[in-house]
Amino acid sequence: MGKMLQVGDRAPAFALQDQDGNMVDVGQIIGRRALVLYFYPKDFTSGCTMEAREFRDMHERFQQGGAEVIGVSADDVATHKEFAVEHELPFRLLADTENKVRDLYGAWGLAHTPGRVTFLIDKQGVVRMVFSSQMQPKKHIEEGLRVLQGINAG
């Protein structure tokens, strides 16, 4: 189980399949724009659905702030596709079926359960925010927007 990345750490690059089966290389995003990378436990659970819908509703604000939003969980491509279609998600969900990327970022909860952790990575590839909270799914979006606005103002 990897140690959780901290503010100031360099975000490791990785590539995973999205809900459409396309390979997404985050190394190609970092350097061009900010990235909100959110790890969540499981598609179709109540907290994860609430979180995804909130990211959907605020997606335009993240884009206006120059950030791309990407969700990551251990669900497979087909499950991600169903989840994204059902909730009209405008962003990509990546299938980390072996939790390799979760390990890389250390995005675990208590007792090695999949955590709900959001990382905001700036254009230079540096982690500027780590927000971990299982019980406050909507707060991930508020915190992400707040820190993104701070980066843009600074």
Q: What distance in Å separates the CA atoms of residue 112 and residue 91, rounded to the nearest whole number?
A: 27
> In the numeric block, which tokens belong to residue 110?
């208590």
Q: Of 29, 34, 48, 129, which is the active-site residue?
A: 48
Q: What length does the chain have?
A: 154
Is 34 within 8 Å of 92 (Cβ atoms)?
A: no
Strands 117-121 and 34-39: antiparallel
Token look-up 């690059």 returns: 13
Taking CA atoms, 101 is separated from 43, 105, 114, 117, 122, in Å, by 17, 6, 12, 12, 18
Token pair of 125 as six digits: 């590839």
User: Does 31 qualify as catalytic in the annotation?
Assistant: no
Catalytic annotation, residues: 48
